[in-house]
Structure 1
């Protein structure tokens, strides 16, 4: 079995062969007409009209069958099978593809849509173009990339092989977006406070320490935005919030990182009862916006977030 270094050398030779053929290995532009999710959504109509499609993405699999090759191409929205035929793209072009393209490469393909005998939606390729040559092979999904530690340290690979991880990233982004929309609909102003601070505070935690050469002074990465947010209230703002990174130089495990995202908001002239009702409204808003209902299942239990919540 070839080593990673040997496989890289093979791919470098292919990269050089592409360049010698006068082809850009890393072109700056693509002529994509559709994302894969758009193709799948309107497949029957596009196939019926024999409309020429240009799609782009990463080659996730490649299977050669004599004078034809099937591959799966994946972009940020979905995956689609592509069908390469020697009699369609020409013997020279077909050989060039087989000799120089690998799983992991980014490709642009042009063609029309059809369904295979097994009913799989496919693009019949008439032309293709290299978008980016991958110099390292992707790890084999089941045998080469199962280690939890490696998955967490190489999130980019984890995202390639585990769609559920990508969905979590997208869900997190949506949650933050909806939190911002809710807070601002309630009159809160988004602000940014200093990350480098001369005095750390707002939480009981050990800080990261650094040094500012320009002012010849020690500084700390913030452990909380609290003190600066409160200064804004002193300055006259009534409702402020910040969503940002904080840093705590302490122990770490799967649920505790030395840097993480925090939400803090401050509201003048309000008491804890106002905040309790506010929290109920926020959770109801977020659940309706993100999930469409107020109940979720967690560890086998169904939790209903409909207000009012039980007071203890």
Structure 2
């Protein structure tokens, strides 16, 4: 058995031809009285959570993208999932309605479906869902990226991240970990009585850093403004106003070069603590960084990789970190005292 769409698409077909075939299936779904871009669909769990906490003979309702189909005629094994996980489903022609079976025949890889059924484990030990009702949630008109190679073109990968995410589990995991890490940073600071604030994105003077700003014009106020290059000045005004611990984790914009390590639009954490000094903030940053590394990276040794994924060096975050005078570091590298 091989993974294939219900109605196999020729690998030699052009994208335009594939889209035309899928549009025909779209029309046939509508002829069956099925809305291919349906409405609300309530689920009881997700594919990933179901597989992680699996038990037989449980009624479930799940939804996901159709990722693989193994068609054996009157019986079908398929895989559905999302960025957080996937699970196998089983359809039998006698086990679903004629309309549902006809709808299945019009499905392709990449379509989103919802299924209702009961859990069971196959003879080979694979957690699965026996489907008794199938709902088409969204018909995909464009084919997915190659199953095994994903998005090969680097430019496409970074400009059309959704294509990379649907075909590359590692990329999807980076997004998930990043989201959880940002939430953990907020929790870490909240536990230490830091107050999260939001300061203006549009500023009359681009301050707080030395960088070229993006410029815009406010029609209602009749004035030139810039997108902020840093939140520093407004955060310090909050200290003047009486707040003693504040932080902002938000976007900054700098109209400068662009590379894999330098993006004109980026997220930055900036925090201030009244009554503290350099050592206060250094201790906090050191503690927070080590906490995040242990929670999300499995330890304090971090592999630093190049653009191709090759490990170039291993960074040891073991505390205490080296602390040195800025002037001394410059003198050490430059070989002279420029100050």
2:169 maps to 163
- The Cα shift of 1:151 comes to 0.8
1:65 maps to 72
The partner residue of 1:15 within 26, 37, 41 is: 26
1:193 maps to 199
Distance 1:135 1:64 in 2: 21
Whether 1:310 aligns to 2:322 is yes
- The Cα shift of 1:214 comes to 0.5
2:289 maps to 283
1:2 maps to 13
SS for the counterpart of 2:249 is: strand
Give the structure with the larger helix fraction: 1
TM-score (norm 2): 0.82
Q: Is the 8 A contact 2:44 2:60 kept in 1?
A: yes
Q: Is the 8 A contact 1:56 1:106 kept in 2?
A: yes
Instruction: Provide structure 1 residue ranges, at least 5 long, that are not aligned to the other structure.
Output: none
Q: Is the 8 A contact 2:80 2:89 kept in 1?
A: yes
- The Cα shift of 1:96 comes to 3.7
Q: Is the 8 A contact 1:59 1:74 kept in 2?
A: yes
- The Cα shift of 1:82 comes to 1.6
Distance 1:69 1:277 in 2: 58
Q: Which moved more, 1:23-32 or 1:197-206?
A: 23-32
1:114 maps to 120
The partner residue of 1:89 within 83, 86, 96 is: 96
Q: Which moved more, 1:258-267 or 1:27-36?
A: 27-36
Q: Is the 8 A contact 1:187 1:239 kept in 2?
A: yes
Instruction: Provide structure 2 residue ranges, at least 5 long, that are not aligned to the other structure.
Output: 1-11, 305-311, 325-339
SS for the counterpart of 1:141 is: coil
Q: Is the 8 A contact 2:145 2:167 kept in 1?
A: no
1:55 maps to 62
Whether 1:101 aligns to 2:107 is yes
- The Cα shift of 1:266 comes to 1.8
1:34-45 superposed matches below 5 A = 34-43=45-54, 45=55
Distance 1:235 1:31 in 2: 48
Distance 1:231 1:288 in 2: 35
Q: Which moved more, 1:221-230 or 1:59-68?
A: 59-68
Change in CA separation of 1:90 and 1:246 when aligned onto 2, cut-off 3 Å: closer
Measured on the aligned residues, the alpha-carbon RMSD in Å equals 2.2
What whole-Å deviation, never above 9, does each CA across 1:202-251 have from its counterpart, x for those lacking one? 11111111111101111101111111112222222222211111111111
2:248 maps to 242
What whole-Å deviation, never above 9, does each CA across 1:248-290 have from its counterpart, x for those lacking one? 1111011111100011112223222222223233234333444
Q: Is the 8 A contact 2:83 2:172 kept in 1?
A: no
- The Cα shift of 1:93 comes to 4.1
